[in-house]
Amino acid sequence: MTQYLLSVHMGADFVPPPQEQMQKMFDDVDKFNKKLQEQGSWVFAGGLHPAEMSTVVRVEDGKVLTTDGPYVEAKEHIGGFWVIEAPDLDAALKLAAEGSAACGGAVEVRPFQDNPS
């Protein structure tokens, strides 16, 4: 088994769709999350506030520097993510496709370094 990060990429200019569409998206993602949990693929997941809500902290020469806003000024930011466990990349890609269909964003699949013990 390998753990994968499935991160959802959303445009910075993402405009929330109308209420009904939003609701359908939430429902679809809920359904997908339940499926992940039932089949034992679920490790962790969550949706994030917009990137502009973030704060960057870094330590330089022992001093803490705190800055407002995202680390990278990009056209796209991570809108949410799943951490899943799958037998191989094909299984992970299949789940990523389901996740993408549910949330309507592109999903990046990236393996974790250590196998879960």
Total residues contacting other proteins (rule CB under 8 A)? Answer: 11
Q: Residue from 73, 113, 116, 117 that binds other proteins (CB under 8 A)?
A: 113
Strands (E), 1-117: 2-11, 42-47, 55-60, 63-68, 76-86, 106-111
| Per-residue tokens: 77 | 């930011």
Nearest distance, CB of residue 90 and other proteins, angstroms:
5
| Per-residue tokens: 57 | 């902290």
Nearest distance, CB of residue 116 and other proteins, angstroms:
12
Q: Is 2 in the site for other proteins (CB under 8 A)?
A: yes
Q: Is 93 in the site for other proteins (CB under 8 A)?
A: yes
- What is the distance between the alpha carbons of residues 30 and 75, in angstroms, rounded to a whole number? 27
The two most distant CA atoms of the chain are separated, in Å, by 51
Q: Of how many residues is the chain composed?
A: 117
| Per-residue tokens: 7 | 């991160």
Nearest distance, CB of residue 47 and other proteins, angstroms:
25
> Looking at beta carbons only, is 24 or 110 nearer to other proteins?
110
Question: Which of positions 51-90 make contact with other proteins (CB under 8 A)?
Answer: 87-90
Residue type, 42: W
Residues that bind other proteins (CB under 8 A): 2, 4, 87-90, 92-93, 109, 111, 113
